[in-house]
Structure 1
Amino acid sequence: MTRANTQDRMRRLELIAVQLKQNSHCTVSDLARQHGVSARTIARDLSLMRDQGMQIDADRGRGGGVRLERNWGVGRMNLTYGEAVDLLISIAVAEKMDSPLFLASLGSVRRQLVASFSPGKRDRVNRLKSRILIGVTASPYVQTGADAPPKRVVQALHQAFVDQDMLDIRYRREDGQCSERRIEPHYLLLKYPVWYVVAMDHLRSEPRIFRCDRMNTATMTGTPFRLLPKDRFHPSLHEDDLSVA
């Protein structure tokens, strides 16, 4: 078995354990369909999990369900690099917002996550964190008109931000007019609960701020951009001069 196949199987075993813990009834065919493998592969996976000490019960018969014993814990989480980065950045945002609730253990969680990274990846995560800015809470007027961005837009924006890749977007202004833009997502700005992208706008050839929930579509271009320092965007980030594209 190759290293890639081994890693894929270990990841699948972890996901199956979580699914069995969460679902009261799950069949082998369900698991096979969800993970894109055969029922025989899932049966081998379940056998290996039993050998590792997991208490997995199974009903007899072709349609029988499988479940993890209710009192058995899944154990430690084994996050992918991308998942760990997302969690660490979310913790950083929570800490920057200085909320008095639910922060007692975040420092410990953050330190454990950071310790799991190699020095090179640690530096990369720190650079990503420095590109997330926290502003004042959005006004009631803005909050009333805000909505959650489409999931596909969030996914493309997330990846373009991490990879420093130019993004083609269809953007809807406050007056309802739409335009096609190519932007460089340099920084993310949170004016709770609304997220903005601080970007270089190729249509205007100048820095602009775009509300994420006004992006109707977003597509990565595969064209990298060089990160610009915050002071290049300072006029746009100053509260008195904040302008939304």
Structure 2
Amino acid sequence: MSTDTPARLLQLLSLLQTPREWPGGELSERLGVSRRTVRRDVDRLRELGYPVQATKGADGGYRLVAGKAMPPLVLDDEEAVAIAVGLRAGAGHAVEGVDEASVRALAKLEQVLPSRLRHRVSTLQAATTPLTTGDGASIAPETLTTMASAIAGREQLRFAYRAGDGAESRRRTEPYRLVSTGRRWYLVAYDLGREDWRTFRVDRVSEPFATGARFAQRELPTGDAAEYLRQSMYRRQETYEFDVTFVAPADFVTARLPAWLGAPEPIDDGRCRLRASTGDAVEWMAVRLAMVDCEFTVHAPAELVACVRDLGGRLSRAVGG
């Protein structure tokens, strides 16, 4: 019979976090204690804020239900490795929808992983080749987690940076936010050497190092990191206005286009119109529009109209149309 109450409570909590109902007798056998002890341990978990629900019956049962706040999770080795590998794979390839919250979760998890599990995660990822889409460059997950930790702790961050023209430099920054565009990750930070705000493509960052030097967070000019990145990208590249009508409801189209393009305006129940600007190549925009999976008409610019026409003809010829 187990007499180590803290260890037993952790084991009980781990069992209850499996989404099923546990009969009291089965918990008693698993833990090597009496049913009375199981009941007392369940009461202890409730006192700690874990919402354990009991059911009546011949054997009685227990299950952990959703509460007002999420209590700390207890993961076994296999579960921890699976979650870490999944988060690292998503973060390292800028999968659309995997944002800074996922990177923060990965940073927290890897911080507390025992060394033996960190080794298993690294080994498994090194032996796996993911099939990814888009032209986003791969990123070492350690780079993202170092940045996320520095942002959370408000620590100055140093790193080597390679600009688009190949020029290399060393930067000392006050990191503000990580922003994912779906294809790439960007760091929005105050560059102490340039004494101004900057955006950095994370795939061009190497040797990131959180110095431990704390800073008081400055006010970002736009107040929003995603908006600052959008404006910064448009300042650096030539943009154009486009105008497209979709034969589909606005919410359908919104769910299938990048958020930074904005939301289309409803025309009626079956159509909507999007007027926005972008710096993406017209070839890429033509493919993006086709991927919305509905009929559409491009009104402007003429270059995009021509590109969509050429793409449609090329696809038709590819299937003998």
TM-score range normalised by the length of the shorter chain: 0.3 to 0.5
TM-score using structure 1 length: 0.42
TM-score using structure 2 length: 0.33
Structure exhibiting the larger radius of gyration computed from Cα positions: 2
Q: Which fold has the larger relative contact order, with Cα–Cα distance below 8 Å and residues 6 or more apart in sequence?
A: 1
